[in-house]
Amino acid sequence: MKKFLLIICTAFLVLSYNSSIEAQERNYYQELVNEWSKIFPDRNRNAAGPKFFKHILNKDITYQEFLEFNKLYCAVSGSLIDPNAVPEKVYLKEVNTNKKICGDYYRCCIPCSCDVMKYSKVEKMKHKFKDIEKEFYVLTIKNPCGKKNFPKQVNRDYFCDGESLSKDQVIELNNRLVIGLFHKAKSCDKSEIVKINNHQVTGLFCEFRNNTPDEQLQSGMGDIFIKLAR
């Protein structure tokens, strides 16, 4: 009997260990690649970070898995990001308070950090995950669906139902479009703001880019996002 119980316990431990390893080795990036045509039926991901966010939020996943998935796309361009990418430290204003909120932004290219800082604001939302209910900051832009000059490079049907945001396609907060997650977000202290302002990208480069007239910008996906968000 003792031998039988030992075999059962050993088998249980092996299965638990294998399940743990499998969870740790989940290929989040490949999963999104495999689901690409489901997220973007016409293959057009231009400025479609909101579609990624909605797709991920709809998954039956833990909060940690939610964080991992949201590191893999650029909220500005809609492009997938290298799984080993290092985030940029940025700050954005909070919607209702205009208070500066600092956090990590995963981007595909340098201009996207500037564009998200200038054209987005953050807001808190709450969601019940597989393991826990959490509140977190998200990146948002104004509802673009009433624009007469809605950018032609973007699939409007992904975002809009008439002049309203399509709740089947994207997440809406107070008539603002959620474009992605703001990682490790918290109220800025003075030293963080100084560091971001003096950084060669978020400071020097972004100051130049964000003071350039929109019609003179020439940097591909960021320009499409600007037309959507301004």
pLDDT at 211: 87
The string of pLDDT tens digits covering residues 20-73 is 344 457 999 999 999 999 999 999 999 999 999 999 999 999 999 999 999 999
SS3 168: coil
| CA triple 140-142-143, angle to 5 deg | 110
More confident residue, 8 or 91: 91
Strand partners, 183: 104
Residue 86 neighbours by CB distance under 10 Å:
7
Q: What percent of the chain has pLDDT over 90?
A: 82
Q: Above 70 in pLDDT, residue 85?
A: yes
Give the residue from 95, 144, 142 showing the smallest Cα distance to 123: 95
Q: Distance between CA 132 and CA 43 in Å, rounded? A: 33
- Write phi, then psi, for 38 (nearest 5 degrees): -75, -40
**Model confidence, pTM:** 0.86
Question: Is 156 buried (19+), middle (13-18) or exposed (0-12) by CB count in 10 A?
Answer: middle
Q: What percent of the chain has pLDDT over 70?
A: 86
